[in-house]
A and B are shown apart, each in its own frame.
Chain A
Amino acid sequence: MKVFIYPTNSLILSDLVERFGHEPLAIMSEIGKRVRTQGLDSPPLNITPEEPKLGLKYAAVEVPSGVRGRMALFDPLISKADAAIIVRDPVTSFGCMGCARTNELINFLIRAKKIPLLELDYPSTEEDAKEFVFKISEFLKSLKPAEEAK
């Protein structure tokens, strides 16, 4: 299954999802597409003023352009998500999402999709960390493998 992760640039979450046979929906793939696609419109991310306009699908013009531009990046990920894992209050090194307003909107949209969802707090002790990984692995096991889902 296609599993949306939050923070969406978390390498640890992305790796965990892959290990259990699913496809992680991470922001790196969207940024990668822009960086690798020929025709450098606006380096380094190749986001042009068109992206904030595409973001109008999610938020009106009174919402800051940075939020709407980010939403244009997240749009394909949110649309494709079959399941999701949201980690609340992660530390910066676990995965850093720049804009708090965008994060609130993404999390809301994922919850509103009514897909299988695991929400859990970022662990603060070693014991919590074991529990954290255990819960994620059980959740991923409960989902149909990517091949089957097709």
Chain B
Amino acid sequence: MNQAENLVRIAQLSCGAEYSGIQKEIDSAVKQVNAVMVFPEVDISDIEAIEEEFGLKVASPDLKLMMARAKSIVTGKVHVDAVFVATCFRCAEAAIVRSEVRRYIHEKTGIPVISYSFTERTTAGTLLTRMEALTTTARRKSLLAREKQSGLTAGIDSGSTTTKAVVMRDNKIIGKGWVPTIKVLESAEEAYTNALKEAGVKREEIQALGTTGYGRFLIGEHFKADLVQEEITVNSKGAVYLAGKQKGTATVLDIGGMDNKAISVIDGIPGMFTMGGICAGASGRFLEMTAKRLGVGITELGALAIKGRQENVKMNSYCIVFGIQSLVNSLAAGSKPEDVAAAACHSVAEQLFEQQLQEIDVKEPVIMVGGTSLIEGLPKAVEELLKVKVIVPENAQYIGAVGAALLVSGFIAK
């Protein structure tokens, strides 16, 4: 987020944001990424004609306005660099319009677009990662076009649950570090030191360092990083790089410790993406709690789930409290631990499928990354739901660190 970078014009197509009291939060988030919100001008006649032209009849005039504004972007009446489509959480009519408007702009213009459903509790902090990814896609296409890592670089991914670090030299990973996140800086120091040790290089030899994840700003400042980047962009790049699928379409799924990302990627650049974070039942934490209850390590849960059948366990809820309660009840009723493990993986995958994958175009190959992708039962459950083959690349758990090390190698010449 370099203030010297060019200002990005983001069109805001929304219904209800100002009445939810969150416009100030939206404005604050865009200011932090050196962007400005613009509201495309339309005539009343455009609003009156839009339902017929767009082919979607809706009752709410603000949604008609959204569609008319989308059309003014598509027809070139308004020039913007990116689009933010937002409507109220739990409004069915708005959810349909939001999804179709996003698809319409994406398909007709190729302008980066994200959508979001908000509540009155939405804060600038929640929006920041999304805005950062949106503006990066708009202003750093040349950086994102990088397909090979060069020189000696490092990446640190300060996640909510674990901190990962890698050292790369000439397009190869030569050192890795993976520690639980306890104190952000200390965990980053430890992971980075481990990676450097394995690589056999000194810290001062590193030509460029990139940081990502929740703690990216703090560790970025501490290590004087050359690139501090949100995880949507970094993980997209890291995923297609590790999977060897840099050209064409791909879908990247990352079930993190605290939130999920589902990203539709074209030539390594994120197109549409969603980032969940409302429910812990769709996160790695759910699986961690299941493993604890089953008395196995998180690394053993996946192998256990592969042996089980989720159909044998009835789950009444996706909730991290009530869903786990269902699993406990099943164990008490005599269910096998492997069936419970499989049911937990299925629950997380199903929630991801229902809440996030409906909002993006799922195109093959589907690449699962992040630590949870190593819990074998999870990619299997996603495969069953999507009915496609899921790729889990080698070093999938280091995705953010690898993506950061790859992207930051573009900064060496500078």
Task: Identify the A interface with B (CB < 8 A).
Answer: 41-45, 47-53, 62-70, 73, 91-93, 96-101
Which residues on the B side are within 8 Å of A97 (C-beta)?
Answer: 61
Among candidates B21, B58, B88, residue contacting A48 with C-beta atoms closer than 8 Å:
B21
> Are A64's CB and B16's CB within 8 A?
yes
How far is B93's CA from A92's CA once the two chains are assembled, in angstroms?
19
Task: Identify the B interface with A (CB < 8 A).
Answer: 15-24, 44, 47-48, 58-62, 64-65, 87-91, 93-94, 118-121
Which residues on the B side are within 8 Å of A66 (C-beta)?
Answer: 15-17, 19-20, 87-88, 91
Which residues on the A side are within 8 Å of B20 (C-beta)?
Answer: 47, 49, 52, 65-66, 69
Instruction: Please list the 3 inter-chain residue pairs (A to B) with the smallest Cβ-Cβ separation, ordered nearest first.
Output: A66-B16, A64-B88, A100-B59
> Are B19's CB and A49's CB within 8 A?
no
> Are B21's CB and A52's CB within 8 A?
yes
How far is B91's CA from A69's CA once the two chains are assembled, in angstroms?
14
Chain B proximity of A65: nearest CB distance (Å): 4
How far is B16's CA from A42's CA once the two chains are assembled, in angstroms?
14
How far is B49's CA from A92's CA once the two chains are assembled, in angstroms?
11
Among candidates B19, B59, B93, B120, residue contacting A70 with C-beta atoms closer than 8 Å:
B19
> Are B119's CB and A65's CB within 8 A?
yes
Which residues on the B side are within 8 Å of A68 (C-beta)?
Answer: 120
How far is B94's CA from A93's CA once the two chains are assembled, in angstroms?
22
How far is B45's CA from A93's CA once the two chains are assembled, in angstroms?
9
> Are A43's CB and B24's CB within 8 A?
yes
How far is B289's CA from A82's CA once the two chains are assembled, in angstroms?
58
How far is B16's CA from A73's CA once the two chains are assembled, in angstroms?
13
Among candidates A45, A73, A101, residue contacting B91 with C-beta atoms closer than 8 Å:
A101
> Are B44's CB and A93's CB within 8 A?
yes
> Are A47's CB and B18's CB within 8 A?
yes
Which residues on the B side are within 8 Å of A44 (C-beta)?
Answer: 18, 23
> Are A49's CB and B120's CB within 8 A?
yes
Q: From known contacts A64-B94, A65-B118, infer whether A50 and B15 are also in contact, taking CB-CB under 8 Å.
A: no
Among candidates B21, B60, B89, B90, residue contacting A98 with C-beta atoms closer than 8 Å:
B60
Which residues on the B side are within 8 Å of A65 (C-beta)?
Answer: 16, 19-22, 88-89, 118-120
Shortest Cβ distance from B58 into A: residue = A100
How far is B18's CA from A47's CA once the two chains are assembled, in angstroms?
7
> Are A99's CB and B62's CB within 8 A?
yes
Question: With A51-B120, A65-B21, A69-B19 given, can you name 14 additional A-B contacts, CB distance below 8 Å?
Answer: A49-B22, A52-B19, A52-B21, A52-B120, A65-B16, A65-B119, A66-B17, A69-B120, A70-B19, A91-B48, A92-B61, A96-B61, A98-B19, A101-B93
Q: From known contacts A63-B90, A99-B16, A100-B93, infer whether A69 and B61 are also in contact, taking CB-CB under 8 Å.
A: no
Which residues on the A side are within 8 Å of B64 (C-beta)?
Answer: 92
Q: From known contacts A64-B88, A64-B90, A65-B118, infer whether A51 and B24 are also in contact, taking CB-CB under 8 Å.
A: no
Shortest Cβ distance from B19 into A: residue = A69
Chain A proximity of B340: nearest CB distance (Å): 31
Chain B proximity of A110: nearest CB distance (Å): 18
Chain B proximity of A100: nearest CB distance (Å): 3
Which residues on the B side are within 8 Å of A100 (C-beta)?
Answer: 58-61, 93
> Are B93's CB and A49's CB within 8 A?
no
> Are A64's CB and B44's CB within 8 A?
no
Chain B proximity of A86: nearest CB distance (Å): 16
- Chain A to chain B contacts (Cβ below 8 Å), 11 pairs: A44-B18, A47-B23, A48-B24, A64-B16, A64-B90, A67-B88, A69-B21, A73-B19, A98-B15, A98-B60, A100-B59
Chain B proximity of A124: nearest CB distance (Å): 14
Shortest Cβ distance from A93 into B: residue = B44
Which residues on the A side are within 8 Å of B119 (C-beta)?
Answer: 52, 65
Among candidates A45, A50, A53, A92, residue contacting B47 with C-beta atoms closer than 8 Å:
A92
How far is B26's CA from A43's CA once the two chains are assembled, in angstroms?
12
Chain A proximity of B284: nearest CB distance (Å): 27
> Are B62's CB and A45's CB within 8 A?
no
How far is B23's CA from A63's CA once the two chains are assembled, in angstroms?
19
Shortest Cβ distance from A52 into B: residue = B120
Shortest Cβ distance from B48 into A: residue = A92
> Are A53's CB and B120's CB within 8 A?
yes
Shortest Cβ distance from B59 into A: residue = A100
Which residues on the A side are within 8 Å of B44 (C-beta)?
Answer: 92-93
How far is B134's CA from A105's CA once the two chains are assembled, in angstroms?
36
> Are A69's CB and B60's CB within 8 A?
no
Chain B proximity of A138: nearest CB distance (Å): 29
How far is B60's CA from A126's CA once the two chains are assembled, in angstroms?
27
Which residues on the A side are within 8 Å of B120 (C-beta)?
Answer: 49, 51-53, 65, 68-69
Chain A proximity of B26: nearest CB distance (Å): 10
Shortest Cβ distance from A53 into B: residue = B120
Which residues on the A side are within 8 Å of B61 (C-beta)?
Answer: 92, 96-98, 100
Shortest Cβ distance from B14 into A: residue = A66
> Are A41's CB and B24's CB within 8 A?
yes
Among candidates B15, B23, B87, B88, residue contacting A42 with C-beta atoms closer than 8 Å:
B23
